[in-house]
Amino acid sequence: MMKNNNSYADLEAALRIDCEKCSGLCCVALYCMKTDGFPENKEAGVPCRHLRPDFRCSIHALLEKKKMKGCLAYDCFGAGQKVTQIYGNENWQTHPDKASEIFQTFMIVRKLYQMAWYLLEAWSVVADEHFSAAIAALLAENLQITAGAPAAMRLADIADYQTRVNQVLKKSSAQLVAKSSGQTNRKDFLGKNFKKTNLDGQDFSMALLIAANLTGCSLRRSNFLGADLRDANIKDTDLREAVFLTQMQINAAQGNGKTQLPPRLLRPSNWPD
Ligand code: SF4
Ligand code: SF4
């Protein structure tokens, strides 16, 4: 049974991307490779040639047709709009002298928000009160750092925080496995056909599920922490109770109108009905 996340409703909303309120940060700040499904190889800090001056993508409607899987899958966990808001009227276009600082802040907030996403998921599945309190404390610390000014964020010991978050995620992941049955130590499921298999409680953490067929599978409390779901077939699949799934994993997979997602995740607009 998953806990109700109502107490974290504001944080959940903050972790959802809102590209309309962003200065196109991912399309500039990131290093991109054509082989990863981006239009070109580009250095970090260089705007993509398809980014318009109003921060919109000039080929947005064609991303699917052009097989820009990197662009379609990317998710910043809400860091883009958060950092755009922090700098207000100053952005990387109007204030090129501040561009590298803005990009650095984006990378820090993205990392922290990604950890917040996983911590929220861990908090929702962990039953032990003390452990829940430890996760809540890490979430509070995350909120405190990201509420600060960029200079304070840069001084925060993010590496130490990440180590503590990783320990908690490892422990919550291990608890999930201990409670479930049918786990396997195998992690390479490249192209494997699981069609309509009962995979409840399966530990897929860090597994390679590229192009695997999960259509019609039962995946209650299956753990997808860090799994690679690129082109995995999740059509007609019920993922409502799957754990540690991110929007990026879902965006990279192949679903349809009958794919059922956990409440925190959105159906990609390019999926067929
Ligand atoms: S950084 Fe995030 S919010 Fe901004 S355009 Fe990219 S995905 Fe959208
Ligand atoms: S193609 Fe569009 S979405 Fe992809 S990096 Fe360029 S501007 Fe961004």
**pLDDT tens string 193-230:** 999 999 999 999 999 999 999 999 999 999 999 999 99
Where does residue 197 fall: left (phi above 0), alpha (psi -120 to 50 degrees), or beta otherwise?
beta
Which ligand 1 atom sits closest to the C-alpha of 74? 7
Instruction: Indicate whether 52 belongs to any domain.
Output: no
> Which pLDDT belongs to residue 174?
85
**Residue 145: how many CA atoms within 13 Å on its side-chain side?**
22
Which residue, of 128, 154, 177, is where some domain finishes? 177
223 shares its domain with 258? yes
Query: What are the backbone angles phi and psi of residue 228, rounded to the nearest 5°?
Result: -95, 110
Nearest CA to ligand 2 atom 4: 71
Instruction: Indicate whether 62 belongs to any domain.
Output: no
Instruction: Indicate whether 147 belongs to any domain.
Output: yes
206 shares its domain with 153? no
Please name which of 254, 251, 252, 253 lies closest in space to residue 268, comparing C-alpha atoms. Answer: 251
Which residues have CB under 6 Å of ligand 2? Answer: 27, 38-39, 48, 50-51, 57, 59, 68, 71
What contacts 261, CB < 8 A, 6 or more positions away? 239, 240, 245, 250, 255, 267
Ligand with the closest atom to the CA of 92:
1
Q: Give how many domains the chain has, as a whole number.
A: 2
219 shares its domain with 259? yes
Which residue, of 149, 177, 205, is where some domain finishes? 177
> Which pLDDT belongs to residue 175?
83
3-class SS of residue 199:
coil
Q: Residue 56 is encoded by which pair of tokens?
A: 């919109």
Distance, in Å, from the CA atom of 133 to the CA atom of 137, rounded to the nearest integer, reads 6
Which residue, of 177, 193, 213, is where some domain finishes? 177
- Residue 225 CA, ligand 2 centroid: distance in Å: 27
Instruction: Indicate whether 116 belongs to any domain.
Output: yes
Instruction: Indicate whether 21 belongs to any domain.
Output: yes
The radius of gyration of the chain from alpha carbons, rounded to an integer in Å, stands at: 19
Which ligand 1 atom sits closest to the C-alpha of 17? 3
Instruction: Indicate whether 108 belongs to any domain.
Output: yes
Instruction: Indicate whether 44 belongs to any domain.
Output: no
142 shares its domain with 158? yes
99 shares its domain with 10? yes
**Count helices and strands in the chain by DSSP H and E runs:** 9, 0
The distance of Cα 143 from the centroid of its chain, to the nearest Å, equals 17
Instruction: Indicate whether 270 belongs to any domain.
Output: yes
- Quote the domain boundaries for residue 169: 5-30+74-177
Q: List pLDDT tens digits, range 223-259.
A: 999 999 999 999 999 999 999 999 999 999 999 999 9
Q: Contact at 8 Å (CB) between 214 and 237? A: yes
10 shares its domain with 128? yes
Weakest-pLDDT range from 3-7, 157-161, 171-175, 200-204: 3-7
231 shares its domain with 196? yes
113 shares its domain with 193? no
Q: Residue 159 is encoded by which pair of tokens?
A: 């590496």
